Amino acid sequence: MGRIAKYLKAYLGPIILAVCLLFAQAICDLSLPNAMSNIVNVGIQQGGIEDAAPNALSADGMAFFTALMTDAQRDTVENAYTLVEDGSLQDQYPQSAEKPIYVLNDGADRGAVSAVFGETTWTLFNTLGAVEAQQGAPGAESGALSSDGSANIENLDLTQLYAMLPVIQALPSAVLDDAREKAESVQDTLKQESGVVLVGAMYRELGVDTDALEQSYITREGLWMLLLTLLSAGASICVSLFASRISSGLGRDLRRDVFHQVESFSNGEFDRFSTASLITRTTNDITQVQNVVMIGIRMLCYAPIMAIGGILMAVRKSLSMTWIVALAVVVLIGLVAVLFSIALPRFKKMQQFLDRLNLVARENLTGLMVTRAFSNQAFEEKRFDKSNRDLTGNQRFVNRLMSLMMPVMLFVLNGVSLLIVWVGSHQIAESQMQVGDMMAYMQYAMQIIMSFLMISAIFIMVPRASVSAGRIADVLETQPAVEDPAHPKDFVPEKAGVVEFDHVSFRYDGADEDVLHDVTFTALPGQTTALIGSTGSGKSTLVNLVPRFYDVTQGQVRVDGRDVREVRQKDLRGRIGYVPQKGVLLSGTIDSNLRYGREDATDADIRTAAEVAQATEFIDAKPEGMQSPIAQGGANVSGGQKQRLSIARALAKNPEIFIFDDSFSALDFQTDAALRKALKAHTENATILLVAQRVSTILDADQIIVLDEGKVVGKGTHKTLLKTCRTYYEIASSQLTKEELA
C-alpha cells in the first residue's frame, strides 16, 4: 500500500477532517455507557442525588451532624454553608418558610463537603449502635438501626433523630472517637451511597419533592444520551461521506494513471504484462484498494480509538477487573495474528488465480470459432473449470477463516460478559462497586471487543489490498522502454518521407539472439518498398521499428532524416499511416472508425478513402451507410471488410508514410488488384512500406526486400530478384505459374 500512498496526499484535508470526526464520534460513543451508569447509580439508586453534600439542610440538622464531626470537619462544613432565615427559598425548599436553613455556597468544594457528610453518616451509624448496645436508646424504637447493626435511614424520621442530640452530646469523647475511627475504615463508595440516602431524608424534611428530583435527573441524563447518540450518528454519516468520496477519487486517479501508463507502453511492456492481467489490475485490483481505503478510513482509525478509549474508561470504572479486559485483548490479538499469518499467502494467490481465470475466459471468447471448429469445447470447459476451481477453492479457504473469526469473537465477548457479571456481582455485594458501574463496564468491554473485531476484519482485507496495490504499482512504476527524448529534434524537410534502415539489428527483451541482423535499405517517397520472406523471417518486426513500437538494438532507423529515437513519438507517428496485420476496429460507427486518425477530415475525404480501399461497395449496401454501427472488435463485419476499413482509416489520415503489414491477406485477387491500382494513384507522393506473403501483391513494387532468418538476402525489383535471389525465386515459383515467372 505504501507504494501508492502518494495518491492520498491530494485528499489529506478530507482525511484529517474525517479523523477529527471519528474522534468526536468515539468520544460520544464512549460517553454513552457512563451516562447509562449515571442513570442507574444516581437516577434510580440515589434518587437523582449526585453526592453526599446536601444543597440545603435545616438548622437542626446542621447542629446535629456537626456534633458528630471533628473540629476540622466542622470548620469545612460551616465555611461551606450560609444560614438563610428570611424564607426566600421557599419555592425550592417549602419548609424554609417556617424554619431557618443552611444553603451550600456556590464556590464551596462539593467533593470535600461530600466526603465529610459521607463519613459523618457512618459515624452516626456507629454512635447509634453504641448507644443501643449500652442503653437501649430510642434509636432502636425509631427504626434507626437495622438488624445487622447498620442504619436503616431510607425511612428515617429525622425529628426523632434530632431528639437524641443531648444523648450524643453527653457521650464520652472516647465513644465518639471510636465511632469516627470505624467510619474512616469504611470504603468511600459505601460512605457516598449512605450519605446520599441521608441527603434524601434531609430534602424530604425541607419539603422537597424527591420523586420529581429523581425524574428530573433521569430525564436530563436521558436527553444527554439522546444528544450524544445524534452527534455520533451525524459524525458517522459525515465520515462515511468523506470516506466514499476519498476512495472513489482514489480509484478514479489510479485508473486514470494506469490507463495513461499503459498507453505509453511499448510492445516490450505488453510482452511483460498480459492483456488479461492489465485488465484485472485496472478493474479488480483498484477496486480492492478502493474498498480497503473506504473501510479503512471508517474503521482503521475508529477501532483503535474505541479500543484504547474503552480500556481507559473501563479501568476508571473498576481497576480490580482490569485483568478481564487484559485477558480478552491478549486472546483477540493472538487470534488476529494467527488469521493474518494464514490469510496473507492466500490473498497473494487470489489475484494470480483471478488473472488466470480472466486469461482463459478471454482466450475462449475470442477463439470461440476455432474451438468449435476443432470440437474442443470439452477441453476448454475443463481448462476453465480448473481455473475456476482454483479461484473458488482459495476464496472458500479465506471465507472459512472469516466465518471462523465471528463465532470466536462472540465466544470471547460472551465469556467476558459472564466474567464481568460474576466478578462484578461479588463486588456489588461487598459494596465495592455499584450496579450502574458494572453495566457500564460490560458496555466498555463490548466496545473493546467489537473494536478488535473491526481491526481483525481490516487485517483480513489489508493483505489482499496490499497485493493489489503492489500489482498496480508494478504497472505505474514500469519505465517504458520507448520514451521521448529530453531534447527532441525537428525533422529535416528536405528528406520528407524518406525511411532509412542503417545497419539495423534487433533482439527481443530476454531473447538469446537477434531476430534482425544488419538490415540496411532506404524507402523513398513515391515508391513502394515491399518486404517478403518466409514466416518468422522478421518482416513485421522490421516495420514495427519505424513507428517505434520497439527500439533497435543496434543501428539506426531514420525518418525524414532523423533517428526515430531523437524525435517525439507523437510527431513521428503523425507522419505514418499504419495498417496492422490483424485489422482492429473500435465500437462505434464506420464513420467514427475512419475518422479515428484524423477527426477534422471532411466527408469528401472519408468517402475518397473508402473508395480507394474498395469499401464503398459494402458500405453503401448497408441501410445506414457510413453511420452503420461497428460492434466491439469489428465482430459484425467480415475479415476482408475489416481489412478494407483499416486501410481506409490509414488513407483518411493522409500521412506521408504508409505501412501495410500484410494488410491485403484477407482480400480476394480481384479486390486486391483493384485496391493496389487505386492505392498507387492515390499515394503517388507517399512512401509505402508493404509487408506481403503473396508475390502477386508486390509484382509492381519499386523495391523488394527479401528477408530470411532476419537477414536481407535480396534487394531489387521482381524481375531482378528472380534472377539474383534464390530465396525469392523459391517463394515466387511456389505461387506463380511458369508463364508468370518468365
Segment 182-210 mean pLDDT: 86
Segment 489-503 mean pLDDT: 93
Shared domain check, 213 and 124? yes
Give the pLDDT confidence of 664-715 residue by residue, as tens digits. Answer: 877 888 888 888 888 888 888 899 999 988 888 888 899 999 999 999 999 9
pLDDT at 226 over 90: yes
Percent of the chain predicted with pLDDT > 70:
96
pLDDT at 661 over 80: yes
What is the pLDDT, as a whole number, of residue 658? 93
Round to whole Å and give the CA distance between 128 and 576.
Answer: 112
SS3 567: coil
What is the pLDDT, as a whole number, of residue 554? 93
Round to whole Å and give the CA distance between 127 and 168.
Answer: 8
Amino acid at 200: G
Residue 148 pLDDT level (bands cut at 50, 70, 90): very low
Round to whole Å and give the CA distance between 21 and 513.
Answer: 62
Q: Is residue 495 part of a domain?
A: no
Q: Is residue 689 part of a domain?
A: no
- Residue pointed to by grid coordinates 471487543: 449
Residue 155 pLDDT level (bands cut at 50, 70, 90): low
Q: CATH code at 625?
A: 3.40.50.300
Amino acid at 547: P
pLDDT at 574 over 60: yes
Shared domain check, 190 and 127? yes
Task: Mean pLDDT check: name the lowest of 159-173, 485-499, 720-734.
Answer: 159-173
Q: Is residue 177 part of a domain?
A: yes
The contacts of residue 525 (CB under 8 Å, 6+ apart) are: 496, 497, 498, 656, 685, 686, 687
SS3 104: strand
pLDDT at 147 over 50: no
Q: Is residue 486 part of a domain?
A: no
For strands 101-104 and 657-661, give the pairing: unpaired
What is the pLDDT, as a whole number, of residue 521? 94
For strands 588-589 and 629-630, give the pairing: antiparallel
pLDDT at 8 over 80: yes
What is the pLDDT, as a whole number, of residue 502? 94
Shared domain check, 416 and 270? yes
Shared domain check, 208 and 303? no
Shared domain check, 270 and 209? no
Give the pLDDT confidence of 47-68 residue by residue, as tens digits. Answer: 888 888 999 999 999 999 999 9
pLDDT at 152 over 70: no
Shared domain check, 327 and 186? no
* Cβ proximity of 204 and 14 under 8 Å: no
Shared domain check, 317 and 388? yes
Q: Is residue 438 part of a domain?
A: yes
Segment 129-144 mean pLDDT: 57
Q: CATH code at 344?
A: 1.20.1560.10
Q: Is residue 178 part of a domain?
A: yes
Task: Mean pLDDT check: name the lowest of 204-213, 441-450, 710-719, 724-733.
Answer: 441-450
Instruction: Output 665 or 539, whichever has higher pLDDT.
Output: 539
pLDDT at 512 over 90: no
Instruction: Output 352 or 1, whichever has higher pLDDT.
Output: 352
What is the pLDDT, as a whole number, of residue 136? 53
What is the DSSP code string of 647-667? HHHHHHH--SEEEEESTTTTS
What integer best gives the mean pLDDT of the chain?
Answer: 86
Instruction: Output 483 or 510, whichever has higher pLDDT.
Output: 483
Shared domain check, 209 and 293? no
Segment 362-379 mean pLDDT: 78
- Best CA proximity match to 399, nearest among 445, 457, 322, 354: 457
Round to whole Å and give the CA distance between 741 and 729.
Answer: 9
Look at the pTM and tell me if it is higher than 0.75. Answer: no
SS3 164: coil
Round to whole Å and give the CA distance between 8 and 410.
Answer: 35
C-alpha cell at position 226: 439522546
Round to whole Å and give the CA distance between 647 and 579.
Answer: 6
How many C-beta atoms surround the C-beta of residue 429 within 10 A? 9
pLDDT at 103 over 90: yes
Shared domain check, 305 and 444? yes
Q: Which of 476, 501, 527 is the last residue of a domain?
A: 476
- Residue pointed to by grid coordinates 459494402: 618
How many C-beta atoms surround the C-beta of residue 452 within 10 A? 25
Shared domain check, 60 and 156? yes
Residue 371 pLDDT level (bands cut at 50, 70, 90): confident
Shared domain check, 377 and 317? yes
Q: How many domains does the chain have?
A: 3
Domain with 435, as residue range(s), is 264-476
pLDDT at 144 over 90: no
Q: Is residue 401 part of a domain?
A: yes
Give the pLDDT confidence of 279-312 residue by residue, as tens digits. Answer: 888 888 899 899 889 888 888 788 888 888 888 8
Round to whole Å and give the CA distance between 394 and 272.
Answer: 26
Our CA angle for 474, 477, 478, nearest 5°, is 80
Instruction: Output 212 or 401, whichever has higher pLDDT.
Output: 212
What is the pLDDT, as a whole number, of residue 143? 40
Q: Which of 624, 654, 684 is the last residue of a domain?
A: 654
Q: Which of 625, 654, 683 is the last residue of a domain?
A: 654
Q: Is residue 75 part of a domain?
A: yes
Shared domain check, 391 and 270? yes
Segment 446-462 mean pLDDT: 78
Describe the strand order of the beta sheet including 657-661 as a list of residue ranges: 576-579, 657-661, 687-691, 528-533, 703-708, 711-716
